[in-house]
Amino acid sequence: MAVLARTGRPAYRLYRLAWAGLDWLYPPRCGGCEKPFTRWCASCAQAASALTETICARCGAVVAEGAECARCRGQQSLFYAARSVAPYTGSIRNAIRQLKFAGDMALGEALARPMIDLLDKLEWGVDLVVPVPAGSARRKIRGYNQAALLALPLALGCGLPYRPKALKKVKDTPTQVGLSAAERRDNVRDAFQAAGDLAAGKRILVVDDVMTSGATLNACAQALLHQGALQVYGLTLARAIL
C-alpha cells in the first residue's frame, strides 16, 4: 500500500522519471559493483540489506545485547533516535564513495529507496527533512552535498517538506576520518546553526550518508533544539561498525 501511495506522488514520480530518461541516454553502471545498465543492481541491493542484528534503541548501533549501547549509556545523545539502512561495507561503501566523489545524483535516487522503506516502517511522524549541510569549502570543491542527494528523493518519496536551509554549517571542519569519538565531538562542536523560523516546534529528520560516532548528528540536533525544534531524528544510508 505504502509503495503504491509513494510512487503515486507526482513530484517523486517526476524525479524518478528524469533519471530514467537520463539512463536511456547514458546507460549507467551499478554504483556498488559496476555491472552495466543499472544504477543499483538487485544483488547489491540484496547484499546491502537492512541491519538485522540487535541494535541500540537510541542510536541504532549494533550491540551484543541490552537496550542501549555503551556510548549512549555514557553520554547524553541530543537526538531522539537514529537508524541506518545497512552496515558501511562492500557495495554500500562503494556506492557512497561514488556518490561523494562523482556526485551521481541518479545513484542518490536509487539509494534513497531503501531509506524511504525504512522511514515508512519506523513511523517517527517527522514534520520535515534536512540534509546534514556541507561546509562551504567542501561544497565549493565538489559542487554538491552528498547528504542532499539522498535527502531530497527521500523527502519526495515520503511526501515530506524538504528544508535544506534549516541547518547551516558555520564552521569548516577538517575531515572526521581517523578521529576518535571524543575528537569527532570536539571537531563538530558549534559547527552548525539552525534557522529558528524553520525549526521551532517541529520534529525534524536529519539525513546523512554515513553515521560513525553520531557526533555530527548530535551537533545538528543541538543547533536545531536550540532553535526550538521538538525532537530531532537521524537517518543515514550506512552505519560504520566500530
Q: Which residues bind Zn ion (CB under 5 A)?
A: 30, 32-33, 35, 41, 44, 56, 58-59, 61, 69, 72
∠ CA 156-162-167, nearest 5°, is 150
**Adjacent-strand bridge partners of 62:** 55
CB of 90 to Zn ion, least distance (A): 10
Q: Which three cell numbers stand for residue 77?
A: 545523545
Nearer to Zn ion, 69 or 99 (CB): 69
Which CB atom, from 44 or from 148, has the smaller least distance to Zn ion? 44
Secondary structure (3-state) at 129: strand
Q: Looking at beta carbons only, is 194 or 205 nearer to Zn ion?
A: 205
Q: Give the 3-state secondary structure percentages of the chain, helix then strand then coil, rounded to 5.
A: 45, 15, 40
Smallest gap from residue 66 Cβ to Zn ion (A): 10
Sign of torsion over alpha carbons 198, 190, 184, 81: negative
Residue with cell 552528498: 146
**Cell 517527522, residue located:** 126
Question: CB of residue 71 vs Zn ion: minimum separation in angstroms?
Answer: 5
Give the residue from 45, 124, 103, 94 showing the smallest Cα distance to 210: 94
Min CB(74)–Zn ion separation in Å: 10
* Least distance in angstroms from the C-beta of 138 to Zn ion: 27
